[in-house]
């Protein structure tokens, strides 16, 4: 089977605070000529990089192809919130993978954060990793959910401190009157995602992975040996991994049909004084509220407020992201009215219908593996996906790959043009439920 594709659309990655504050970015070559490898990985985000690292650690030769720059996609632009868990409401899958399977998924959601911790420690990646996170309750029923989450974490043997907060304790975490409670988790936290990606790219190189930038895959010849084409080169490999998430476009229509790309946006203020920053987030935690189009925010290492939110399905970014996001920030922190916005940017989240990351292999092409659809919660889950894919590819049995691969994922009906309006309708329904 052969698929002809266009390279992914450009969007402005350089506008982000992360691009402006990143480690020196190496200029990696574009692929030229023909290479052979055990595995060809497509996508230079966390999914691709971590799969490559884990494969190289198991002794396989790996070529990684990135259409733009390492971390150009969601991995280099996200909120930097490293939060425990995979998926949402994973108990719904017990009819497919059993209650034991569900329990394993929950444990893997905790392990996913530990993989990031180990990566940062092992490769000494300077990505401002800071521990401490708080779920914010918008309504009393959110707080009831947090109490259940805390009980479940205890039952799973979670080794990090968690603590429920009532409304009158919220100012110890966030200087806003909007919330009726919270759940602190000291095993989750925040980091500089682009620097994590760059550090992981350097680690992959040290392990012998050949990395290429500006090397969009334009065509794939599938078969027992895959042949992967870029404008100026080809890679022949026994195994292919697709880690392109919301930027996959037409490279593989079967997989992109299961992911809805949705725009999310972030603003970064000018650096705040110590007193200002302390008044906003006294314990320097990352925080998220519970609404469908949630607010997520945290402080950067140089004390900017990085405030993210929204969820756009139209494929069109707001004309002025700063003007669009600023009122959302001021609703939470009216005291920031005179503060300047230094950076504004957006990126694409890949949403799946059941919100469980899609980790598997193609039914008709068993040497083609993929990981995608983290539904806005991928900083940890991508790292787990890399491990699971590498275990499966290298023939290690008993890992969690099969659990993920056995969960079916719906293809959104109507192709690319109908997918977004359908999701918009679905979101409207969820937002209406929030108001009830
Ligand atoms: C604004 C925003 C905020 C977010 N905040 C958080 C957060 O705080 N916490 C959290 O856990 N998650 C967050 N997420 C989600 C998280 O960033 C993603 O789930 C995760 O980064 C996905 O990583 P990935 O490697 O799968 O995809 P990406 O990082 O998007 O990488 C895919 C790569 O594939 C490349 N590619 C595509 N097509 C081709 C091709 N044909 N040839 C070669 N390369 C190709 C792209 O150029 C891209 O670099 C956020 C996402 C966004 C957009």
What is the arithmetic mean of pLDDT over 362-374?
A: 97
Residue 2 is predicted with a pLDDT of: 37
What is the arithmetic mean of pLDDT over 226-248?
A: 98
What is the arithmetic mean of pLDDT over 343-364?
A: 95
Name the band, by pLDDT with cuts 50, 70 and 90, for residue 209: very high
pLDDT tens sequence across 334-343: 999 999 999 9
142 CB-near residues (< 8 Å, 6+ apart): 135, 136, 180, 181, 290
In this structure, are strands 62-65 and 33-42 parallel, antiparallel, or unpaired? parallel
Q: Is the pLDDT of residue 165 over 80?
A: yes
Could you tell me what percent of the chain has a pLDDT over 70? 92
For ligand 1, atom 32, the nearest C-alpha belongs to: 244
pLDDT tens sequence across 272-322: 999 999 999 999 999 999 988 899 999 999 999 999 998 787 777 888 999
Residue 119 beta carbon below 6 angstroms from any ligand 1 atom: no
Residue 269 beta carbon below 6 angstroms from any ligand 1 atom: no
Å from CA of 81 to ligand 1 middle: 14
CA atoms of 211 and 214, how far apart (whole Å): 10
Residue 296 beta carbon below 6 angstroms from any ligand 1 atom: yes
Angle between helices 193-206 and 46-57 (to 10 degrees): 30
CA atoms of 377 and 382, how far apart (whole Å): 9
Q: Which residue has the tokens 């080169």?
A: 233
Å from CA of 246 to ligand 1 middle: 7
Residue 352 beta carbon below 6 angstroms from any ligand 1 atom: no
User: Which atom from ligand 1 is nearest to the alpha carbon of 70?
Assistant: 49
DSSP string, 248-284: -TTS-HHHHTT-EEEEEEEEEESPPPHHHHHHH-TT-
**In Å, how far from its chain's centre is CA 285?**
19
Residue 217 beta carbon below 6 angstroms from any ligand 1 atom: yes
CATH of domain 2-78+194-259+354-413: 3.50.50.60
Residue 379 beta carbon below 6 angstroms from any ligand 1 atom: yes
């Amino acid at each position: 089977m052969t698929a002809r594709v266009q390279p992914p659309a450009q969007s402005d990655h350089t506008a982000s605070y992360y691009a402006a504050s990143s480690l020196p970015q190496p200029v990696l070559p574009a692929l030229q000529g023909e290479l052979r490898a055990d595995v060809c990985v497509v996508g230079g985000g966390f999914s691709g990089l971590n799969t490559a690292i884990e494969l190289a650690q198991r002794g396989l030769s790996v070529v990684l192809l990135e259409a733009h720059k390492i971390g150009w996609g969601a991995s280099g632009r996200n909120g930097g919130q490293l939060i425990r868990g995979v998926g949402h409401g994973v108990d719904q899958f017990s009819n497919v993978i059993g209650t034991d399977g569900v329990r394993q998924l929950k444990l893997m959601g905790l392990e996913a954060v530990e993989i990031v911790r180990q990566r940062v420690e092992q490769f000494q990646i300077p990505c401002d990793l800071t521990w401490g996170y708080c779920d914010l309750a918008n309504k009393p029923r959110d707080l009831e959910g947090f109490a259940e989450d805390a009980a479940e974490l205890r039952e799973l043997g979670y080794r990090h401190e968690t603590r429920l907060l009532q409304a009158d304790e919220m100012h110890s975490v966030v200087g806003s009157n909007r919330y009726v409670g919270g759940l602190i988790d000291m095993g989750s936290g925040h980091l500089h995602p682009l620097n994590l990606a760059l550090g992981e790219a350097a680690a992959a190189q040290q392990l012998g992975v050949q990395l290429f930038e500006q090397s969009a895959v334009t065509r794939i010849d599938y078969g027992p040996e895959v042949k992967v084409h870029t404008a100026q080169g080809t890679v022949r490999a026994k195994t292919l991994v697709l880690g392109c998430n919301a930027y996959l476009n037409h490279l593989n229509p079967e997989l992109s049909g299961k992911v809805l790309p949705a725009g999310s946006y972030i603003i970064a203020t000018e650096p705040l004084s110590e007193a200002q920053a302390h008044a906003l987030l006294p314990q320097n935690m990352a925080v998220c509220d519970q609404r469908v189009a949630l607010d997520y925010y945290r402080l950067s290492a140089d004390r900017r407020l990085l405030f993210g939110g929204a969820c756009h399905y139209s494929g069109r970014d707001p004309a002025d992201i700063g003007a669009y996001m600023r009122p959302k920030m001021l609703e939470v922190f009216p005291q920031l009215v005179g503060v300047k916005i230094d950076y504004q940017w957006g990126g694409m989240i890949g949403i799946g219908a059941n919100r469980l990351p899609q980790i598997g292999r193609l039914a008709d092409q068993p040497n083609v593996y993929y990981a995608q659809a983290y539904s806005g919660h991928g900083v940890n889950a991508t790292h787990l996906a890399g491990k699971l894919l590498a275990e499966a590819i290298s023939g290690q049995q008993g890992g969690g790959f099969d659990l993920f691969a056995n969960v079916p994922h719906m293809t959104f009906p109507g192709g690319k043009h109908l997918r977004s309006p359908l999701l918009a309708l679905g979101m409207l329904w969820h937002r209406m439920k929030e108001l009830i």
